[in-house]
Structure 1
Amino acid sequence: MRVPAYLLRHRVTVEPYLGDGAYGPQYGPPLADVPALVSGARKVTRDSTGAQVISTAQVIAAPDLDCPARSRLTLHDGRTTTAISVTHHTAPGLPVPACTEVMCE
């Protein structure tokens, strides 16, 4: 079961992180108008190195979202941010929705 579309009230743009190049981070083509639910709460989380950081936005989207850590996101309010961590939530056989959670700077 996927997260219901009617709960994904916001639209975001995701530029998937591809790696670092000679001139800094490289991003793939933008995925525009991605349905999501955005929360602007401040939360303590851990980045890919295990360091504690503050997330200023959390994005819930469909479980098949292509958004690796360090991807660039443009939120529904126009703010551009970076993905700190990405978690794919699944529970096969249970009546809970599968989704992707992105913690943003």
Structure 2
Amino acid sequence: MTRVPRWLLRHRITVEPYLGTSAYGKQYGPAVADVPALVAETVKTVRNAEGREVISTAQIIAEPDLACPAESRITLPDGRRTTAISVAHHTAPGLPVPASTEVMCE
């Protein structure tokens, strides 16, 4: 299986993976900086984990092994902080298309 070519991932983002909720609120893992990605800041309607329609203001394409569960905090290339709404891992075994991870952000 091929991976999305790194030379296409022109932007750099920072990801703080969501670990869950504790008595003190949401918990995040250590920030992973300089993650290669392709960021498109466009407004789209998407569905969140509960199935409700919400607005995504940024979409990210990254390498297939990106550790970024829904609700992770992400810092975009322009410095804006956002939250992952949904994460999709795209694979197509046997087809000549690259594997990637797509993240829809608030």
- TM (norm. structure 1) is 0.99
SS of residue in 2 equivalent to 1:96: coil
Match of 1:66 in 2: 67
Structure 2 unaligned segments of length 5 or more: list them: none
Q: Which 10-residue stretch deviates more, 54-63 or 21-30?
A: 21-30
Q: Quote the residue 2:55 is aligned against.
A: 54
Corresponding residue number in structure 2 for 1:13: 14
How many corresponding residue pairs? 105
Q: Deviations over 1:31-75 (max 9, x none)?
A: 110000000010000000000000000000000000000000000
The Cα RMSD (Å) is 0.5
1:30 alignment counterpart:
31
C-alpha distance in 2 between matches for 1:82 and 1:58: 11
Cα deviation, residue 22, structure 1 = 1.7
Q: Indicate the residue corresponding to 2:105 in structure 1.
A: 104
Identify unmatched segments of 5+ residues in structure 1.
none
Percent of matched pairs sharing the same residue? 72
What is the DSSP-based 3-state SS (H/G/I as helix, E as strand, rest coil) of the residue aligned with 1:85? strand
Letter in 2 for 1:4: P
TM-score (norm 2): 0.98
The residue identity in structure 1 corresponding to 2:64 is P
Q: What SS does the corresponding residue of 1:77 show, helix, strand or coil?
A: coil
